[in-house]
Amino acid sequence: MRIIQIVRGLAYGDAVGNDALALHHILKKYDPETRIYALAVDKRYEGSDFCALLDTSMDISPCDIILYHMATCSAIIRDFLLNVPGRKFMVYHNLTPPLYFRGYNPVAEVAMYEAYADLEALRQVFEGCIADSEFNRRDLLRLGYDMPIAVLPIIVPFDDYAKPPSMKILQQYQSDGWTNFIFVGRVVMNKCQEDVIRAFAYYNKYINPCSRLFVVGNPAGQEIYFKKLQRYIEYLQADNVIFTGHVPFDDILAYYKLADVFLCMSEHEGFCVPLLEAMYFDVPIVAYDAGAIKETLRGAGVLSHVKDPEKLAFIIDRLVTDSGLREEVLSRQRQCLQYFSYGNVSAMADGCLKGIMEQCRLSVDSPETVDEDVGEKVAEVLRASQKVNSSIELPAWEDIPHEYGARYWCIRMLLCWYRLAHIIAPVSIERLKVWLRYKLL
């Protein structure tokens, strides 16, 4: 019996790839020769004995076990899973709904429609599924997945964060008396960086001008959204908003070290690893209640049900200036982090995988109820924020016009041809895409 994992692409530092790597170390107990197969492998992993390029002609026996990490579309992998024997299980990392890309990124919008089509086509293939969160489990149930579905958080290798941070970044910003906001995540529409910027702009203008916002994330492929964010900053007349772009890992560690508050306004998260990263670095969290955010926080941080910039600024000001409130929030975050510790989640994963390996079945425990008790001081601050009612109005995101340009319309036209070709020969088209992306670039 072989055990193999399949991901579309094994990228360095990617949450899906990291989860597959963490599971790989557990699976080695059951199959010393286990491998991760991908259509494309980061050059830093090339030559490693734990991964290989996926060969769709590889010999799979009926007793082999396949774990497929589903996070995007792949006609090649879909056809492979539909046509090979073996015991198949899916690790579901969630799909971002296409509506978040509409008007901003037509390529990603089409890709997400295709991903949902793949999810539908593979529904009868899997014997069981593993979801990163209860939110993801409910997503599968909504899509008609009626097989056993276990909830297993992403395994986060926290030891990696003990590495030295970038001294260049620390020397540039540290100990200057400024309050530092941070958000970490791709610059993409479902992350709603515009709401982070809007709340920061209010705080910076009317509460503390000696403050800055670090938006740590890669905007590649999201140029229309990124340019609109920059115009929005001009409309808001917001100072000290810093987009870092794609940065090395030690820079990310430094930004966490600098942060006084982590502000997350994302509307769609299947798990949200940066929340755990903020907890690790003892950065208090203020987050919007959407997707799996509440489930990941588990009663820690400050969970807001509104995106009103003044109310958020009020909460953040209290969090920065009230040492008692800050310590209560950090204490609860430390408790939450214990649940998501590498040892605890690895033990959960081992128990889940053991059932698959030994009996080829998925044992499903009832998802643990998220603690609703947010803490006395946090509750008091949230109640007080509801009484804030200012006449100050900031420019709305919806008032900022799109600037498409000729490139956008050329892409739209090419996509029409792409969709036609994809209908006729989906596997050939994906092979061409993989070759162009990873061989020519």
pLDDT of residue 441: 40
pLDDT of residue 408: 61
pLDDT of residue 103: 85
Mean pLDDT value of segment 109-138 = 94
Q: Exposed, middle or buried: residue 59 (CB in 10 Å: 0-12, 13-18, 19+)? A: exposed
At residue 89, the 3 state secondary structure works out as: strand
Mean pLDDT value of segment 38-52 = 89
Output the six-digit token pair for 12. 């360095």
Question: What is the residue type of 264?
Answer: C
pLDDT in tens, 375-421: 889 999 999 998 887 778 888 898 887 766 666 667 666 666 566 66
Rounded to 5 degrees, what are φ and ψ at 82?
Answer: -70, -25
Could you write out the three-class secondary structure of 186-213? CCCHHHCHHHHHHHHHHHHHHCCCCEEE
Mean pLDDT value of segment 49-78 = 93
112 near 155, Cβ under 8 Å? no
d(C-alpha 108, C-alpha 96), whole Å: 10
On the question of pLDDT at 423 being above 50, the answer is yes
165 near 254, Cβ under 8 Å? yes
d(C-alpha 74, C-alpha 304), whole Å: 36
Q: Which band of pLDDT confidence, cut at 50, 70 and 90, is reported for residue 6?
A: very high
The rounded mean pLDDT for the chain is 90
Sequence-separated (6 or more) residues with CB below 8 Å from residue 224: 103, 104, 105, 402, 403, 404, 408
Residue holding tokens 């109310």? 311
d(C-alpha 37, C-alpha 267), whole Å: 31
pLDDT in tens, 208-253: 999 999 999 999 889 889 999 999 999 999 989 999 999 999 999 9
On the question of pLDDT at 363 being above 80, the answer is no
User: Worst-scoring range by mean pLDDT, 90-94, 258-262, 435-439?
Assistant: 435-439
pLDDT of residue 296: 96
On the question of pLDDT at 347 being above 70, the answer is yes
pLDDT of residue 437: 56
- In this prediction, what percent of the chain has a pLDDT beyond 90? 73
pLDDT of residue 190: 96
Mean pLDDT value of segment 329-347 = 95
Mean pLDDT value of segment 174-197 = 96
Taking alpha carbons only, the member of 363, 400, 388, 11 closest to residue 197 is 400
pLDDT of residue 386: 87
Question: What is the residue type of 44?
Answer: R
Mean pLDDT value of segment 110-125 = 93
pLDDT in tens, 70-104: 999 899 999 999 999 999 999 999 999 999 998 88
pLDDT in tens, 34-44: 999 999 898 88
d(C-alpha 263, C-alpha 257), whole Å: 15
Q: What is the pTM of this model?
A: 0.90
On the question of pLDDT at 440 being above 60, the answer is no
Mean pLDDT value of segment 257-279 = 97
